[in-house]
Amino acid sequence: MTSSLTQPPDDREAFTLRRRPASEKLVDTGFRNLTIAMASLVAVILLGIILTIVMGAREAMATFGLGFLTTSAWDPVNESYGALVAIYGTLVTALLSLLIAVPLGVGTAIFITEDLIPLAFREAIGLMVELLAAIPSVVLGLWAIFVMEPTIRPVLELLHRLLGWLPLFSTNPQGPGTAPAVLILVVMILPIITAISRDALRQVPIELRQGAYGIGTTRWGAIFNIILPAAISAIIGGVMLALGRAMGETMAVTMIIGNSLNFSFSLLAPGNTIASMLANQFGEADGIQVSALMYAAVILMILTFVVNIMAQWVVRKLSLRY
């Protein structure tokens, strides 16, 4: 049979079989190896980020140890550093903004997936929420400084007057502070929660809805008892992604949080987050301050890594199989 391939019979139209030239093979394997190299670059960058920051933080880790996490002194003159203010600020701003953004985002997602209003309106709302995600953080920060903060200050003053006995509202609002930072974070993570919840709700099989309506439930009976439980794992995954984003968000928060180095429980007082501390001080720092900032960056990275990996795990493991 092999001979008939290389020497076709004369009475039939000849197929010309050609050997692949060496150059073609070279291009093929070369291209394959190039794409492998480019794909590995993701791993190289990720490892590079971890190595660079951990190596930079080694000096501060050796000097301050774990006490770095629990002391609030940030004193470049005496070279004594602790990140408690920034860690507390990062967690408080991220969690409080989630507390506000989750009901808003999931509520909006339900509103634009159920047929409460005509499709054109729902698509318009979806488009607007997507565009909100596209506005740069620094522009939101600018808006927060000049428009949002002056507008909400009377409300914050009222909070202080009525609830000033609570440690959370114990200081008089002076302008920049934790509370406006929380509100601008809400604006920034709302689109993520809405977009992921909307996708999750859309993927709930139509049979589940039909079944629920068929046995006579109301719309919100179906939403609370059938649709939300079916979509909950993806929604939780989206909420955790938003948490990671909120903890790492830098510019808008830096511009409005006040960047205070003193610890305060009050939401109305200026605060700080790890990301905004990095943005403010990294350019001008030297000596062990750079190392202390790298240490803070390590903490931020661990926090966001844990949250992001948990988000992926939640989506993969907890999703319902229909």
Q: What's the CA gap between 62 and 70, in Å, rounded?
A: 15
Task: Report the interhelical angle of 288-318 vs 228-248 (nearest 10°).
Answer: 170
Amino acid found at 272: N
The least CB distance from residue 276 to another protein, in Å, is: 9
* 97 scored as a contact of another protein (CB under 8 A): no
Decide whether 62 or 134 has the Cβ nearer to another protein: 134
DSSP 10-28: TTSPPP---PPPHHHHHHH
Give yes or no for a contact between 83 and 274, defined as CB atoms under 8 angstroms apart: yes
In the complex, least distance from residue 138 CB atom to another protein, rounded to whole angstroms: 4
- H or E segment to which residue 153 belongs: helix 149-163
Pick the stretch among 37-45, 60-68, 197-205, 206-214 that binds another protein (CB under 8 A): 37-45
Q: What whole-number distance in Å separates Cα of residue 28 and Cα of residue 26? A: 5
**279 interacts with another protein by CB under 8 A:** yes
89 contributes a contact to another protein by CB under 8 A: no
Window 218 to 237, contacts with another protein (CB under 8 A): 218-221, 223
Segment contacting another protein (CB under 8 A): 3-11, 59-67, 73-81, 138-146? 138-146
Residue selected from 74, 87, 93, 105 as contacting another protein according to rule CB under 8 A: 105
User: Which listed residue (99, 131, 162, 163) binds another protein by CB under 8 A?
Assistant: 131
Give the interface segment with another protein, choosing from 70-78, 128-136, 164-172, 196-204 (CB under 8 A). 128-136
- 248 near another protein, rule: CB under 8 A: yes
The tokens for 88 are 């507390």
User: Count of CB atoms within 10 A of residue 225's CB?
Assistant: 12
Helix (H, G, I), strand (E, B) or coil at 74: strand
Q: Which is nearer to another protein, 160 or 311 (CB)?
A: 311
Where would I find the H helices in 205-286? 206-214, 219-222, 228-248, 251-257, 274-281
314 binds another protein (CB under 8 A): no
Q: Which two tokens stand for residue 61?
A: 């880790």
- Nearest approach in angstroms of CB 152 to another protein is 12
Q: Is 139 in the site for another protein (CB under 8 A)?
A: yes
